[in-house]
Amino acid sequence: MKFYISPSIISADLTNVRDEIKKVESFKDSFLHLDIMDGNFVPNITFGPFIGEQLRKLTNIPFDTHLMIRYPEAFIEKFAPFSHFITFHIEATMFPFRLINTIKSLNKKCGVSLNPLTPVEYIFDILPYVDLLLIMSVEPGFSGQKFIKETLSKIRKVHEFRNKNGLNFLISVDGGVNEETMPLVLKEGADVLVMGNFFFKKDFDFVRNTIGKLRGEI
Protein backbone atom coordinates (compact mmCIF):
# COMPACT_ATOMS: atom_id res chain seq x y z
CA MET A 1 0.00 0.00 0.00
CA LYS A 2 1.40 3.39 -0.98
CA PHE A 3 1.13 6.29 1.45
CA TYR A 4 3.24 9.23 2.55
CA ILE A 5 4.51 9.91 6.04
CA SER A 6 4.91 13.45 7.36
CA PRO A 7 6.61 13.41 10.78
CA SER A 8 6.14 16.61 12.78
CA ILE A 9 9.40 18.30 13.73
CA ILE A 10 7.95 19.69 16.98
CA SER A 11 7.92 16.14 18.38
CA ALA A 12 11.59 15.60 17.52
CA ASP A 13 14.61 16.08 19.77
CA LEU A 14 15.50 19.59 18.66
CA THR A 15 18.90 19.38 20.36
CA ASN A 16 19.72 16.67 17.84
CA VAL A 17 17.66 17.91 14.92
CA ARG A 18 20.06 16.91 12.14
CA ASP A 19 19.91 13.23 13.11
CA GLU A 20 16.15 13.43 13.63
CA ILE A 21 15.72 14.73 10.09
CA LYS A 22 17.90 11.90 8.79
CA LYS A 23 15.36 9.47 10.24
CA VAL A 24 12.67 11.06 8.09
CA GLU A 25 14.95 11.06 5.05
CA SER A 26 15.50 7.32 5.45
CA PHE A 27 11.91 6.68 4.31
CA LYS A 28 10.75 7.01 0.75
CA ASP A 29 7.58 9.05 0.15
CA SER A 30 8.17 11.27 3.15
CA PHE A 31 7.64 14.93 4.03
CA LEU A 32 8.71 16.94 7.07
CA HIS A 33 5.70 18.48 8.82
CA LEU A 34 6.17 21.98 10.22
CA ASP A 35 3.51 22.94 12.77
CA ILE A 36 3.31 26.73 12.89
CA MET A 37 1.29 27.96 15.90
CA ASP A 38 0.72 31.58 16.88
CA GLY A 39 -0.78 31.34 20.39
CA ASN A 40 -3.96 32.88 19.01
CA PHE A 41 -5.68 30.46 16.66
CA VAL A 42 -4.42 27.65 18.92
CA PRO A 43 -3.26 27.91 22.57
CA ASN A 44 0.39 27.17 21.85
CA ILE A 45 3.37 28.82 20.15
CA THR A 46 6.00 27.02 18.09
CA PHE A 47 8.20 28.91 15.64
CA GLY A 48 8.22 31.32 12.73
CA PRO A 49 9.80 31.53 9.27
CA PHE A 50 13.37 31.93 10.53
CA ILE A 51 13.44 28.38 11.95
CA GLY A 52 11.98 27.00 8.73
CA GLU A 53 14.73 28.73 6.78
CA GLN A 54 17.38 27.15 9.02
CA LEU A 55 15.82 23.69 8.76
CA ARG A 56 15.81 24.00 4.98
CA LYS A 57 19.61 24.26 5.06
CA LEU A 58 19.76 20.76 6.56
CA THR A 59 17.68 18.82 4.02
CA ASN A 60 16.01 18.78 0.63
CA ILE A 61 13.01 16.79 1.87
CA PRO A 62 9.67 18.49 1.01
CA PHE A 63 8.34 20.62 3.86
CA ASP A 64 4.65 20.18 4.69
CA THR A 65 3.94 23.53 6.37
CA HIS A 66 0.78 23.63 8.49
CA LEU A 67 -0.29 27.15 9.45
CA MET A 68 -2.30 27.06 12.67
CA ILE A 69 -2.48 30.84 12.77
CA ARG A 70 -5.02 33.62 12.49
CA TYR A 71 -4.83 35.81 9.41
CA PRO A 72 -2.75 33.32 7.39
CA GLU A 73 -2.99 35.66 4.39
CA ALA A 74 -0.53 37.98 6.14
CA PHE A 75 2.17 35.30 6.41
CA ILE A 76 1.96 33.11 3.29
CA GLU A 77 4.84 34.83 1.51
CA LYS A 78 7.10 34.47 4.56
CA PHE A 79 6.69 30.69 4.68
CA ALA A 80 6.66 30.04 0.95
CA PRO A 81 10.42 30.08 0.20
CA PHE A 82 11.15 26.86 2.11
CA SER A 83 7.77 25.08 1.81
CA HIS A 84 6.46 22.51 -0.65
CA PHE A 85 2.92 22.39 0.77
CA ILE A 86 1.34 25.33 2.59
CA THR A 87 -1.82 24.41 4.47
CA PHE A 88 -4.16 26.90 6.12
CA HIS A 89 -7.20 26.30 8.34
CA ILE A 90 -10.59 26.95 6.82
CA GLU A 91 -11.69 28.25 10.24
CA ALA A 92 -8.98 30.94 10.20
CA THR A 93 -9.99 32.86 7.09
CA MET A 94 -13.01 34.37 5.38
CA PHE A 95 -11.22 34.35 2.04
CA PRO A 96 -10.19 30.77 1.21
CA PHE A 97 -10.20 31.21 -2.56
CA ARG A 98 -7.98 34.26 -2.27
CA LEU A 99 -5.56 32.28 -0.11
CA ILE A 100 -5.53 29.37 -2.54
CA ASN A 101 -4.74 31.71 -5.41
CA THR A 102 -1.95 33.39 -3.44
CA ILE A 103 -0.32 30.09 -2.53
CA LYS A 104 -0.50 28.77 -6.08
CA SER A 105 0.82 32.05 -7.50
CA LEU A 106 3.98 31.33 -5.47
CA ASN A 107 4.26 27.91 -7.18
CA LYS A 108 3.47 26.03 -3.98
CA LYS A 109 1.08 23.17 -3.36
CA CYS A 110 -1.98 24.34 -1.45
CA GLY A 111 -3.63 22.54 1.44
CA VAL A 112 -6.68 23.28 3.54
CA SER A 113 -7.24 21.91 7.06
CA LEU A 114 -10.34 21.12 9.10
CA ASN A 115 -10.70 21.11 12.88
CA PRO A 116 -12.48 18.09 14.40
CA LEU A 117 -15.87 19.83 14.77
CA THR A 118 -15.92 21.27 11.24
CA PRO A 119 -18.04 19.10 8.90
CA VAL A 120 -16.21 17.96 5.77
CA GLU A 121 -19.15 19.11 3.66
CA TYR A 122 -18.20 22.68 4.57
CA ILE A 123 -15.19 22.58 2.24
CA PHE A 124 -16.49 20.44 -0.63
CA ASP A 125 -16.73 23.52 -2.87
CA ILE A 126 -13.02 24.30 -2.59
CA LEU A 127 -11.63 20.77 -2.84
CA PRO A 128 -11.34 20.93 -6.66
CA TYR A 129 -8.84 23.78 -6.18
CA VAL A 130 -6.49 22.34 -3.55
CA ASP A 131 -3.71 19.76 -3.57
CA LEU A 132 -4.19 18.45 -0.04
CA LEU A 133 -6.90 18.21 2.61
CA LEU A 134 -5.60 17.92 6.17
CA ILE A 135 -8.16 16.40 8.53
CA MET A 136 -7.39 17.05 12.19
CA SER A 137 -8.05 13.95 14.28
CA VAL A 138 -7.29 15.81 17.54
CA GLU A 139 -7.85 19.39 18.66
CA PRO A 140 -4.97 21.38 17.16
CA GLY A 141 -2.29 22.85 19.39
CA PHE A 142 -0.59 19.99 21.24
CA SER A 143 0.97 16.66 20.33
CA GLY A 144 0.29 13.40 22.15
CA GLN A 145 -3.51 13.60 22.16
CA LYS A 146 -5.87 10.66 21.68
CA PHE A 147 -7.25 10.00 18.21
CA ILE A 148 -10.88 11.12 17.75
CA LYS A 149 -12.60 8.07 16.26
CA GLU A 150 -15.26 10.12 14.45
CA THR A 151 -12.46 11.20 12.11
CA LEU A 152 -12.77 7.88 10.29
CA SER A 153 -16.18 8.72 8.86
CA LYS A 154 -14.87 12.12 7.72
CA ILE A 155 -12.02 10.45 5.84
CA ARG A 156 -14.48 8.05 4.23
CA LYS A 157 -16.79 10.87 3.09
CA VAL A 158 -13.92 12.84 1.57
CA HIS A 159 -12.51 9.75 -0.14
CA GLU A 160 -15.91 9.02 -1.68
CA PHE A 161 -16.30 12.66 -2.77
CA ARG A 162 -12.85 12.61 -4.38
CA ASN A 163 -13.57 9.43 -6.31
CA LYS A 164 -17.04 10.53 -7.39
CA ASN A 165 -15.72 13.83 -8.78
CA GLY A 166 -12.49 12.56 -10.29
CA LEU A 167 -10.28 14.73 -8.07
CA ASN A 168 -6.72 13.98 -7.06
CA PHE A 169 -5.95 15.97 -3.89
CA LEU A 170 -4.17 14.11 -1.10
CA ILE A 171 -6.04 13.21 2.09
CA SER A 172 -3.84 13.83 5.12
CA VAL A 173 -4.62 12.93 8.75
CA ASP A 174 -3.02 14.66 11.73
CA GLY A 175 -3.33 13.68 15.39
CA GLY A 176 -3.05 10.47 17.37
CA VAL A 177 -1.51 8.61 14.44
CA ASN A 178 0.24 5.49 15.72
CA GLU A 179 0.54 1.75 15.16
CA GLU A 180 -3.11 1.23 16.15
CA THR A 181 -4.73 4.04 14.17
CA MET A 182 -2.63 3.94 11.00
CA PRO A 183 -4.35 0.85 9.54
CA LEU A 184 -7.75 2.39 10.32
CA VAL A 185 -7.17 5.70 8.53
CA LEU A 186 -5.48 4.02 5.58
CA LYS A 187 -8.45 1.69 5.17
CA GLU A 188 -10.77 4.71 4.88
CA GLY A 189 -8.64 6.34 2.18
CA ALA A 190 -5.92 8.46 3.80
CA ASP A 191 -2.81 9.16 1.71
CA VAL A 192 -0.61 11.12 4.14
CA LEU A 193 -0.01 10.28 7.79
CA VAL A 194 1.19 13.12 9.99
CA MET A 195 2.88 11.58 13.00
CA GLY A 196 4.57 13.00 16.06
CA ASN A 197 5.37 10.97 19.17
CA PHE A 198 4.94 7.67 17.35
CA PHE A 199 7.74 8.50 14.94
CA PHE A 200 10.18 10.38 17.14
CA LYS A 201 9.60 8.95 20.63
CA LYS A 202 9.20 5.21 20.03
CA ASP A 203 11.95 2.70 19.26
CA PHE A 204 12.99 3.47 15.70
CA ASP A 205 13.24 -0.17 14.63
CA PHE A 206 9.63 -0.60 15.74
CA VAL A 207 8.62 2.50 13.77
CA ARG A 208 10.43 1.31 10.66
CA ASN A 209 8.92 -2.18 10.86
CA THR A 210 5.40 -0.87 11.47
CA ILE A 211 5.51 1.44 8.46
CA GLY A 212 7.27 -1.15 6.33
CA LYS A 213 4.61 -3.78 7.03
CA LEU A 214 1.79 -1.40 6.13
CA ARG A 215 3.56 -0.57 2.88
CA GLY A 216 4.06 -4.24 2.08
CA GLU A 217 7.84 -3.89 2.19
CA ILE A 218 8.33 -6.44 4.98
Give 215: exposed, middle or buried? Use CB within 10 Å, 0-12, 13-18, 19+: middle
Closest CA to 17 of 63, 51, 64: 51
- 159 labeled binding residue: no
- 199 labeled binding residue: no
pLDDT, position 140: 81
CATH fold of 4-214 reads TIM Barrel (3.20.20)
pLDDT, position 144: 65
C-beta contacts of 13-22 below 8 A and 24+ residues apart: 13/200, 17/55, 17/58, 18/58, 20/200, 21/55, 21/58, 21/59, 21/61
Which residues are designated catalytic? 35, 174
Instruction: Kindly list the domain boundaries of the chain, sorted by start residue.
Output: 4-214
- 175 labeled binding residue: yes
pLDDT, position 141: 65
- 33 labeled binding residue: yes
- 172 labeled binding residue: no
Per-residue pLDDT of the chain (218 residues; tens, 9 = 90+): 899 999 999 999 999 999 999 999 999 999 999 999 999 999 999 999 999 999 999 999 999 999 999 999 999 999 999 999 999 999 999 999 999 999 999 999 999 999 999 999 999 999 999 999 999 999 886 666 789 999 999 999 999 999 999 999 999 999 999 999 999 999 999 999 999 999 999 999 999 999 999 999 87
